[in-house]
Structure 1
Amino acid sequence: MIDESASHEAIACSLRLLAIRNHSRKELVGKLLKKGFRQDTVEAAMSYLDEKKLLDDEAFGKELISSRSKRRPIGERSMRFELTRKGIPDDLASDLLSEYDSAELCRVAAEKKFVSLKRYDPSQQKKKLESFLRNRGFEWLIIKETVERLFKNQPS
């Protein structure tokens, strides 16, 4: 039997969390359980949120990709990992990443980082830039092409 007051409390807590930022279903369930709500109470709250169309993993995933791409671009594999870690199902993550432009995001990240590398000689700049992009999860082929293009466009 579901405790109605606990259910209302879980819904209110969920709405407060959603007011701060969008969450995936998995994230929200985890936060409610961590706050001490029982599983059946959390499920009732999720049903209510579904009924009111307040939970949308696809919208959450799109928002995450967009904000991440603007703030701190990462490679597709890293983005897929972040999506699944946040609770986005694999098939939805694949759909969301179908238009992910890793090469463009790599270029943006490289150009931004390159500014801070001016004090180094070109070979050090290349190594540091490659390492930076690799740590961001970009694939080696994309990194190589990006770095070559960036250094080709630099005045001698």
Structure 2
Amino acid sequence: MTFQQRRRRPAEEAPSQAHGPDANPMDVAREMALRILTLRDHSRQELGDKLLAKGVPEDVCGEMLDRFEDVGLLNDQNFAEQWTRSRRNSRKLSRMAVRRELQTKGVDRDVIDQTLEGIGHDDEVQLATELAQKKWRQVKSLPREVAYRRLAGALARKGYSSAVVGQVVRDVMDEGSDDSLGDEFE
């Protein structure tokens, strides 16, 4: 018996195989959706796209998604809030980068706006500063202009505006150069 055979249990088989050709499409779709949602929350569009890609008929998919919303298993507002918290905490993404990600996941513009309305300029500067300080430790030994480019590039890739990038990089580099001078005289 191979490793894959030992790992795979009958309950882990694809629903269409487990239920056979006479299975109720709604039951199969529900099983697939529940399995997908056990990994992480999804937006309605994201879950629908995954189910359609697995061959769930469009009418069954729509009906099942409506039912999941009715019972609270699928909620784009909750998904957007959790996604925003997660991406800002773990990846230090800017408000605009999170907005783009939520849009690609099919979250409604009004839901996105409501989710992101509490994130202000000061929050962006604070998060960008945390990221820049971490990156500064890696680049502080480089020539100043190279270090500036690397810090600015790291922040820009996370979606921060040029105004935030310029302010944060200058502040972090000025603080970092002050710290290094202080270390030499201690």
> Does TM, scored on the shorter chain, surpass 0.5?
yes
Q: Among residues 48, 67, 86, which one is paired with 2:86 in the alignment?
A: 67
Mapped contact 1:11–1:48 kept (Cα < 8 A): no
1:109, 1:133 within 8 Å by CA — same for their partners in 2? yes
Aligned length: 154
What residue is the counterpart of 2:63 in the other structure?
A: 44
- Unaligned ranges ≥5, structure 2: 1-21, 182-186
Q: Which amino acid aligns with 1:58?
A: Q
Aligned partner of 1:148 among 170, 174, 181: 170
Q: Provide TM-score, normalisation by structure 1.
A: 0.92
Tell me the residue number matched to 1:92. 111
Residue in 1 that maps onto 2:135: 113
For the pair 1:131 / 2:150, whether they are aligned, the reply is no
1:67-102: CA deviation from partner (whole Å, max 9, x where unpaired): 111221122222111111111111111111112222
Report if the CA contact (8 A) 2:46-2:105 is conserved: yes
User: For the residues of structure 1 that align with 2:138 and 2:64, how far apart are their CA atoms?
Assistant: 48
Runs of 4+ in 1 over 3 A off after TM superposition: none
Give me the whole-angstrom Cα distance separating, in 2, the residues matched to 1:121 and 1:77.
30
Residue of structure 1 aligned with 2:95, choices 56, 76, 97: 76
1:153 is paired with a residue of what secondary structure? helix
Match of 1:57 in 2: 76
Alignment partner of 1:22 is 2:44: no
Structure possessing the higher radius of gyration over alpha carbons = 2
